[in-house]
């Protein structure tokens, strides 16, 4: 029997995009693959424009100024005598904190606005821009690629100064490169201050560098190891501990300007921290040099056959199956190598692969995907980003806060225990919005031929509109892609 074109189209849209947005023009038939790929042809694919967001350096300096002013206010409060009403020092300090958090608002009738330089406020604004980009996407393939690569080259907002710049990292080191060369994304990600601070390279010193000899501080191998193990070659990529150590020496000097400086928070190359001399990585000698020595090693890694295989496997696992077909992985790796790591071409090869339409829909939507899917399908775009971020936390995928440098798991088993949390959130959402929504119409519009008779009947027999919406959001069709 010939495959149903409408069914295949629906499979492809859910596999590579976000769920169709409520009221969106249907995309179907033979052109669905072209529509998905066409999203990458847009020069603005994956970019966030029009949002008043701070650059990495601006965010770092703003956060530093906020923390400095807060410390100054607290110190002043600590040294100030109590007022005539007997106000305590702790009360003075609380008042000073409130004053430092204000944004020029002297009205007693309105709550103080958060300071735009506060790290948590910057973090929230970045989160809102990210959510809006996903909600407003036509198909969402570009956003899905952004999320994939942001998890591949992950940083964590839990690492002190990274909190205020994790959003800038994604906008500056990931989004501009999803349709470009892997080598360019690799250099941008590894040299970004968020990565240098997250993996402790900003303070790494060569043992024989002027700074290392004077301060007797040692080499940090975190960044070098994770580049080799997670970002390029893979755990079985053929490198040794000697390669890790040598590469770590190459990367010494890749640092971040102190936040109090004019270019605070930006990348800087500190020659006094760099381990001098030539270094050997993966059997190749790299002559002594400045920042170019590290860039040369990254270029070699970007074009290594093991990197092609590692990236191909991860892409196929993310989009197709937890255990991806070996033939598909080999084809993607070949396309990666023959195009010099052209990510647009590799992404196209993935969409055009027979497995893209034929493989079972076995992938479980990760929490962030499920939350965005719920919003798009129901046409619900919240003004307040905090409940959405709290939902991410409850479901075990706090935004830009992976548990380890390997990122969040891409396999279903990691998220099955969190389905009860999804039920709680679905119930809360349905209680607030379900009375105004027709779950049956949403189900048909969102899934079309993918909707099973069982799910359709379950929704139809619900006792209320709220219960029907909960059942839809928890249905197998909504949980898997």
pLDDT per residue as tens digits for the range 97-110: 545 444 434 344 44
For residues 459 and 435, membership in a common domain is answered with yes
pLDDT tens digits for 14-55?
A: 999 999 999 887 766 668 999 999 999 999 999 998 878 999
pTM of structure = 0.92
Question: Would you say residue 114 has pLDDT above 80?
Answer: no
**What's the mean pLDDT in 293-310?**
98
For residues 380 and 327, membership in a common domain is answered with no
Kindly state whether residue 322 falls inside one of the protein's structural domains. Answer: yes
DSSP strand E in 43-201: where? none
DSSP 172: I
Question: Rounded to an integer, what distance in angstroms lies between the CA atom of residue 103 and that of residue 101?
Answer: 7
Q: How many residues are present in the chain?
A: 481
For residues 350 and 380, membership in a common domain is answered with no
C-alpha dihedral sign at 292, 293, 298, 303: positive
DSSP 111: P
pLDDT tens digits for 432-442?
A: 999 999 999 99
For residues 373 and 472, membership in a common domain is answered with yes
- Give the containing element (helix H, strand E) for 1: none
For residues 350 and 389, membership in a common domain is answered with no
pLDDT at 92: 54
Kindly state whether residue 66 falls inside one of the protein's structural domains. Answer: no
Is 19:377 a contact under the CB 8 Å cutoff? yes
Give percent of the chain above pLDDT 70. 91
Kindly state whether residue 448 falls inside one of the protein's structural domains. Answer: yes
DSSP 363: P
Question: Rounded to an integer, what distance in angstroms lies between the CA atom of residue 157 and that of residue 400?
Answer: 6
pLDDT at 88: 55
Give percent of the chain above pLDDT 90. 85
pLDDT at 21: 93
227: nearest Cα among 153, 330, 139, 176:
153
Task: Please tell me the least confidently modeled range out of 77-81, 255-259, 462-466, 472-476.
Answer: 77-81
Question: Rounded to an integer, what distance in angstroms lies between the CA atom of residue 391 and that of residue 395?
Answer: 6
Question: Would you say residue 387 has pLDDT above 90?
Answer: yes
Kindly state whether residue 324 falls inside one of the protein's structural domains. Answer: yes
Q: Where are the alpha helices (DSSP H) in 339-461?
A: 343-352, 354-358, 367-378, 386-394, 419-433, 439-447, 453-460
pLDDT tens digits for 60-73?
A: 999 999 999 999 99
What's the helix, strand, coil split of the chain in %, to 5? 60, 5, 35
For residues 464 and 384, membership in a common domain is answered with yes
Is 198:155 a contact under the CB 8 Å cutoff? yes
Q: Which two tokens stand for residue 56?
A: 């990495």
Q: Which two tokens stand for residue 123?
A: 């973090």
For residues 387 and 464, membership in a common domain is answered with yes
pLDDT at 312: 98
Q: Which two tokens stand for residue 257?
A: 């300007």
- At residue 17, φ and ψ (nearest 5 deg) are -115, -165
Question: Rounded to an integer, what distance in angstroms lies between the CA atom of residue 19 and that of residue 140?
Answer: 8
For residues 414 and 466, membership in a common domain is answered with yes
For residues 464 and 446, membership in a common domain is answered with yes
For residues 399 and 315, membership in a common domain is answered with no
Task: Please tell me the least confidently modeled range out of 41-50, 251-260, 306-315, 450-459.
Answer: 41-50
Q: Give the distance from CA 67 to its chain's centroid.
A: 26
Q: Which two tokens stand for residue 302?
A: 């970007």
For residues 368 and 350, membership in a common domain is answered with no
**Count: domains in the chain:** 2
Kindly state whether residue 440 falls inside one of the protein's structural domains. Answer: yes
Kindly state whether residue 411 falls inside one of the protein's structural domains. Answer: yes
Kindly state whether residue 315 falls inside one of the protein's structural domains. Answer: yes
pLDDT at 407: 98
Residue-number span of the structural domain to which 336 is assigned: 305-358
Kindly state whether residue 261 falls inside one of the protein's structural domains. Answer: no
Is 94:300 a contact under the CB 8 Å cutoff? no
Q: How many other CB atoms sit within 10 Å of the CB of residue 140?
A: 28
Is 356:13 a contact under the CB 8 Å cutoff? no
Q: How confident is the model at residue 111 (pLDDT cuts 50, 70, 90)?
A: very low
Question: Rounded to an integer, what distance in angstroms lies between the CA atom of residue 273 and that of residue 266?
Answer: 17
The residue written with tokens 């992976």 in the block is 402
For residues 417 and 384, membership in a common domain is answered with yes
């Amino acid at each position: 029997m010939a495959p149903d074109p409408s069914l295949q189209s629906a499979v492809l849209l859910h596999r590579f995009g976000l769920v169709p947005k409520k009221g969106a023009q249907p995309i179907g038939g033979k052109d669905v693959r072209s529509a998905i790929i066409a999203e990458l042809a847009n020069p603005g694919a994956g970019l966030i424009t029009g949002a008043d967001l701070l650059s990495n350096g601006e965010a770092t300096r703003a956060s530093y100024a906020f923390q400095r002013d807060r410390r100054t206010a607290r110190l002043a409060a600590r040294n100030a005598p109590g007022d005539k009403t007997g106000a305590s020092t702790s009360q003075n300090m609380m008042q000073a904190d409130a004053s430092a958090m204000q944004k020029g608002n002297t009205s007693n009738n309105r709550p103080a606005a958060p300071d735009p330089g506060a790290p948590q406020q910057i973090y929230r604004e970045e989160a809102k821009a990210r959510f809006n980009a996903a909600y407003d996407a036509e198909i969402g393939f570009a956003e899905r690629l952004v999320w994939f690569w942001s998890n591949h080259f992950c940083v964590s907002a839990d690492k002190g100064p990274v909190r205020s710049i994790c959003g800038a990292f994604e906008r500056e080191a990931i989004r501009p490169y999803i349709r470009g060369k892997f080598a360019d994304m690799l250099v941008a990600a590894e040299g970004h201050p968020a990565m240098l601070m997250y993996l402790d390279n900003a303070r790494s010193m060569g043992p024989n560098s002027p700074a290392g000899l004077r301060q007797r501080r040692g080499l940090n191998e975190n960044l070098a190891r994770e580049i080799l193990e997670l970002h390029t070659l893979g755990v079985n990529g053929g490198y040794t501990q000697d390669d890790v150590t040598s590469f770590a020496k190459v990367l010494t000097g890749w640092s971040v300007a102190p936040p109090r400086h004019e270019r605070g928070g930006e990348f800087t190359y500190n020659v006094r921290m760099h381990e001098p001399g030539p270094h050997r990585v993966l059997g190749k000698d790299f002559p002594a040099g400045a920042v170019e020595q590290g860039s040369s090693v990254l270029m070699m890694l970007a074009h290594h056959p093991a990197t092609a295989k590692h990236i191909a496997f991860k892409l196929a696992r993310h989009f197709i199956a937890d255990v991806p077909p070996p033939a598909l992985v080999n084809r993607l790796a070949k396309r990666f190598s023959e195009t010099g790591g052209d990510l647009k071409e590799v992404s196209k090869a993935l969409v055009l692969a027979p497995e893209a339409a034929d493989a079972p829909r076995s992938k479980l939507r990760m929490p962030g995907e499920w939350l965005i899917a719920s919003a798009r399908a129901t046409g619900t775009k919240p003004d307040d980003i905090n409940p959405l971020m709290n939902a991410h936390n409850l479901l075990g995928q706090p935004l830009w806060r992976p548990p380890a440098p390997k990122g969040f798991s891409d396999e279903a088993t990691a998220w099955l225990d969190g389905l009860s949390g999804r039920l709680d959130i679905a119930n809360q959402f349905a209680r607030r919005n379900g009375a105004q929504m027709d779950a049956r119409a949403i189900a048909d519009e969102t899934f079309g031929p993918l909707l099973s008779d069982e799910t359709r009947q379950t929704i139809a027999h619900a006792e209320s509109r709220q219960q029907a919406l909960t059942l839809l959001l928890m249905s197998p069709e909504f949980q898997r892609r």
